[in-house]
Structure 1
Amino acid sequence: MANMDPPARAANRVLVNHLISHFANTPEQRADLLKNTNISVSDLTRKNGKISSRDEYIFLANLTQEMGQDWVWRNPQIWKNQNFSPLDRALKNAPNCAAAMNVLTRLGHLFHSNLYFEQFEHDLPSGRMRTLRINMVPEGSDTEIGAKCVQHMTLIFIFFQLDQALNGTWKGAKIHAGPLQGVPLKIIQNIFSKAPETNTGFIGFTIPASNCEVLNQSADENIFKRAMVTIEKGASKSRQDDALKHQVRNYLAVVTQGRPNAIEVAKALGVSPRTLNRKLQTANTTFRELLEDSIKKRAHKLLAANTLSRADISDRLGYRDQASFSRALKRWRTNE
């Protein structure tokens, strides 16, 4: 099944505006940064405007072309105080480092689909330690540069926020740079006055457990609570959207003749077609993709049974003619 871009978000608009204010001093420069995107001036200025992640990635690729590689790392102060999403606000105002790490590992994927966070505790001779591991998931080639920029922005921001939560005390802690080389290593060392380790194979932190519980002197408890309420609502909505995706998949799995359309399935599940399509998009799929997957599984099952002719199978699956079914089989085999 093809991957879809995450849904359009207001946070993407805030980020694009933030970067335009830093790097585009003229209308011509702004136009160069927005080329090949579907971002209009009204998208940028409208209070509730949203920008798709794909357009955000293209914008960032354009910015990389203008500013050169490693521009994200060469401008670290831009990310220190970023406030693009509820996750940013929660991390900035977490009561301690442990709380910030817990928010990232439990909810970070909702905001950064191309980053995966793991956390574990372990004992060393020096005492109990907590490790946060940040895995960078590669994106498709058409959005790879922009996605990588977002990953690196997030890394720098997390570095800054954990530094704030630890009150700048990295005694006994380690910063793991994994595959990062060159400019990123130098910037990390400049920010924290601590040389990162490059032989551990991953990006992240190993911090004494006792340090993780020290109070974050810069935290605002009210901002943290409000941000967490917003994030939890988003997490609940995401779970609901995933549940609907499974309902659609289960409904299609018991179809034996033809192919229902989205209107029929929406009615059977008690939602409007518009709601069905919107929730499936939020769950990173579409009705068409789920239907295609269902038909492919039914086709393979009928072919394996070897009790019907190709023409009969084609008719049962709702194809106009056998040639259309043959083309679908060829496409599935090519994609497998």
Structure 2
Amino acid sequence: MSGVARRRVGWISAAALLLLVAVVLSLAVGSRPIAIGEVYDALLHGGTSDNAQVVRSLRVPRTVIGVMVGVALAVAGTVLQGITRNPIAEPGILGISQGASLGVVCAIAFFGVHTLNGYVWFAFAGAALAAVCVYAVASSGRGGASPVKLALAGAAMNAFIASVVSAIVTTNARVLDEFRFWDVGSLSGRDATIAGQTWPFLAAGLLLVLAMARGLDALALGDDVARGLGRNVGLLRMAGTVGATVLTGVAVAAAGPIAFTGLAVPHIARALVGTGHRWLLPTAALLGPVMILTSDVIGRIVFQPSEVPVSVMTALAGVPFLIALVRRKAVAA
């Protein structure tokens, strides 16, 4: 094994260890601290104590959803940066997050849905519809869905959907009151049902993007070079868009919009293991949940007994780190 490969394996192992630590902290730390031994007993030996019930019924589902959301956002951001060759691309660039928001607003305003479990499918449908519209617009005209056209179509769709959402919530106080609790982006109140509804889509999205890792490496060299290497650029870009849409839909449907993770984690992973997507995608998939779970744990304890939503904490924790990487010129575009 070469020195570069050993270094990459070392970083991936370190990321896996960090994820294990983050999972343990997520299960043990909160407004009610629980000893690690009690967490272990609650998971493996059952128990009827209050702490055991808290671990099994509240913190395990919350942690599982945090892992799923972190994986989905980080991998989606990595893929979007690859297919658009845009270092500031992230899951919101194609209007996917805003589409999910529109789906939830419509569920509340027009279909009488008032539960998190009910929001999931509407959020998924809105995210998918927004992505389809963006890709259809970007594919029209000469040149097909180029990186620039995808970014511009996504920006336009974001603005349009945001205006529609604003029009609905500002004219209906009841909808605004319910929507704002979902729109803040949080793991609080999520149960195992949501994880059960979304994990098949997470698995499908991951399989799709992992299968195209070599294709993403070819796209990074430019469309002409990728074609010269025998790659179908249009098919690669469409498959990447579908995979990123599914993954972002999973994250937004499960936890609401959580910004910055899909932007920062790919850069952090790229600084550690390089630009090859066979290494980059697994590293991002490990670091994404670390960022989400760590931010969630900090949000639980920083203003006890209240909680700071995870979307707020990801920005507060991630922005300084990304700025530090940029200043050190460790971020590869």
Q: Structure 1 length normalisation: TM-score?
A: 0.23
Greater strand share, structure number? 1
Higher-RCO chain (CA-CA 8 Å, sequence separation at least 6): 2
Greater helix share, structure number? 2
Name the larger-Rg structure. 1
Q: Structure 2 length normalisation: TM-score?
A: 0.23
